[in-house]
Amino acid sequence: MIVRSVSELKEKYDSLESGDIFIGDLTGKGRKHFMFIDLLERGVNCFPSPLSQMLNGSKVAQAVVLHHYMCPHTLAVFRRHDLMEAISTYNQHSINAVITKTDKMHCGHGVRKWQDIETVYSFISHEDSKYPFVLQPFLGSFTDVRVIIVGEYSEAYMRQNRDNFRQNISAGGRSCPYDITEEQKAFCNEVMARGKFPYGHIDLQILKDGRCYLSEIALDGGISGASIQRKELDERKRDLLERLALNS
């Protein structure tokens, strides 16, 4: 049996068996985690994968699972003790300016730049509501590139904002097409494979010396700098999920 909507999933939830398939984004704040665990334990296949859907909704989760692909010393900070340990690590590596990313905030709204990690500690260490968050060294110079990959289709564009380090187009930035290298595309595919993303909107930080780091990845995202139209992109995603389901 293939279930193709959340409403149908709710209706047939208790009757699903091993080998059945759910295609779609599982919504519902507060129930998503345990529903995915339950479906996985019962052998129900989900497309997009449960892992990709969990990572899609959380910058902190990405910093835990995908930190190997991010700039060195990227950390997920869950409590004050983590921040204290980060202070020692960052000072040992002479890291001054840092950024923090608030979990589950988009369009650059949750990205903050700090003079140093001690300033972060002074402002937020005792505020439980600020945890968890992502902590990273501030990269002063890099090329911000968004890559869209859906099956055999891919394209990339550079985002630039001279007045805002966040670079986001939504924050006043501009875009232009960007030719990624085969190595960079392979990097994106490796990130997608690790997070079990069937497709992705991948934000890269490319340094002048060629080093390439993952900033974030999403199942969906803005395409204002892309040549593909939203309707075609969504159709490609649906077709890919159907093919993956039929071949599973």
Query: CATH number of the domain that 126 lies in?
Result: 3.30.1490
Same-domain status, 158 and 116: no
Asked if residue 165 and residue 105 are part of one domain, the reply reads no
Is the pTM above the cut of 0.85?
yes
Mean pLDDT of 70-75: 97
- Same structural domain for residues 42 and 112? no
Q: Are residues 190 and 237 in the same domain?
A: yes
| Residue 165: per-residue pLDDT | 66
Residue 235: its pLDDT value, please? 97
Question: Does residue 216 fall inside a structural domain?
Answer: yes
pLDDT, mean over the chain: 92
20 and 78 in one domain? no
Q: In whole angstroms, how far apart are CA 51 and each of 34, 61, 100, 151, 238? A: 13, 10, 23, 18, 18
Q: Is residue 204 one of the residues assigned to a domain?
A: yes
Is position 207 within any domain? yes
Confidence of residue 129 (pLDDT cuts 50, 70, 90): confident
Domain assignment of residue 241, yes or no: yes
Cα-trace Rg, the chain:
19
Reduced to 3 states (helix: H, G, I; strand: E, B; else coil), residue 193 is helix
Q: Please give the DSSP secondary-structure letter assigned to residue 74.
A: -
- Summarize the confidence of residues 8-12 as an average pLDDT: 93
pLDDT band at 174 (very low <50, low <70, confident <90, very high): confident
State whether 97 and 163 are in the same domain: no
Residue 153 lies in domain: 143-246
91/162 same-domain check: no
Among 17-31, 165-179, 185-199, the least confident range: 165-179
Question: What is the pLDDT at residue 126?
Answer: 84
229 and 158 inside one domain? yes
Predicted pLDDT of residue 61: 97
Do residue 100 and residue 40 come from a single domain?
no
- Show which of 106, 137, 168 is a domain's final residue: 137
Q: What is the per-residue pLDDT for 106? A: 77
pLDDT at residue 159 greater than cutoff 70: yes
Query: Is the same domain home to 147 and 242?
Result: yes
- Considering the domain architecture, whether residues 116 and 174 belong to the same structural domain is answered as no
pLDDT of residue 233: 98
Per DSSP, the three-state class of 104 is coil
At residue 237, does pLDDT exceed 80?
yes
Residues 6+ apart with CB under 8 A from 124: 100, 130, 133
| Adjacent-strand bridge partners of 150 | 153, 199
Assess whether 160 and 193 both reside in one domain.
yes
- % of the chain residues with pLDDT over 70: 94
- The pLDDT of residue 108 is above 90: no
> What's the total number of domains in the chain?
3
With a cut of 90, say whether residue 29 has pLDDT above it.
no
Instruction: Identify the pLDDT of residue 101.
Output: 95
Q: Is there a domain that residue 60 lies in?
A: no
* Residue 13 or residue 140, greater confidence: 13
Domain end residue (candidates: 137, 158, 178): 137
Q: Is residue 7 part of a domain?
A: yes
- The answer to whether the CB of 150 falls within 8 A of the CB of 199 is yes
3-state secondary structure of 146: strand
Tell me what the mean pLDDT of segment 164-171 comes to: 64
pLDDT of residue 207: 96
**CATH number of the structural domain spanning residue 221:** 3.30.470.20
Residue 14, CB-side half-sphere exposure with 13 Å CA sphere: 1
pLDDT computed for residue 209 by the predictor: 94
**What average pLDDT does range 21-36 have in this prediction?**
85
